[in-house]
Each structure stands twice: as structure tokens, then as C-alpha cells.
Amino acid sequence: MNYRILLSSCGKGVVRSFFLTLLLILFLAIISTFTELGAPIRSAAILITTLLSIVYGAIYSAKKTGEKGWLHGLIVAALYMIILYIVATIGGRNLALNINDALRVLLALVVGFLSGMLGMNI
């Protein structure tokens, strides 16, 4: 396994994930401008946005290299969540992780793992 290719494809997958996140959050912002979204709906929409972005990045990364899709998916999901946590902390969020945050990270890793495998097979 060539680590340069691994990091390159995973990095590109993470960048693509964040571009998709920006587009989906912009779409969500436009919708919330014209309608009143409750906190549970907004929270679910943000979770779905995160997971869709990870799916896209993991599939892209796995298809790009053609091997070990599960590993690429895990790396993309982990990097995505780490960067998201850093940005949220810089934005003023508390550093402490609660049980909901831990569940979101676990869900993101599972989705990345499965999406990487899916990317190898489509």
C-alpha cells in the first residue's frame, strides 16, 4: 500500500465532503429562511448532512484507489469529524464531548467504514 496515494485520496475525499456539506448547509439555510424549522428537525438535518457528506467522501476516496475501501472510509470519516470538531471549537463550542457527540462520531465512523466498502463495489 502506497501511503502517499492513501493520504492523497483521503484528503481529496475530505475536501469533497466539506464542499458537499457547505452546499447542503446553504440549502438548509435557504429553507429555514422561508419556513420555521424546529430544533429537532434542524438537528436531524445537520446529522443527515454530515452523514451524506461522509458517504460521498468515502466512496470517492475508495473508488480513487481501488483497494481497502473500509480503511479509506474510516480515515475520511475520522478526518472529517476531527476537522468539524476543531472548527466548532474555534467557533465557540465547548471542548467537552457529551454522549450525543460520542454517538455521532461512532455513527460517522460506521457510515464511513460501510461507504468505503460500498465505494469498492460500485
Q: What are the pLDDT digits (tens) for 88-120?
A: 889 887 777 789 889 999 999 999 999 999 998
Band (68; pLDDT cuts 50, 70, 90): confident
Q: Find out whether 59 and 87 touch, Cβ atoms under 8 Å.
A: no
Long-range pairs for 118-122: beta carbons < 8 A, 24 or more residues apart: 118/55, 118/58, 118/59, 118/62, 118/69, 119/58, 119/59, 119/60, 119/61, 119/62, 119/63, 119/69, 119/72, 119/73, 120/62, 120/63, 120/66, 120/67, 120/69, 121/69, 122/59, 122/63
Residue 58: pLDDT over 90: yes
To the question of pTM greater than 0.85 for the whole model, the response is yes
Given a cut of 90, whether residue 52 has pLDDT beyond it is yes
Domain spans in the chain, listed from the N-terminal domain onward: 3-121
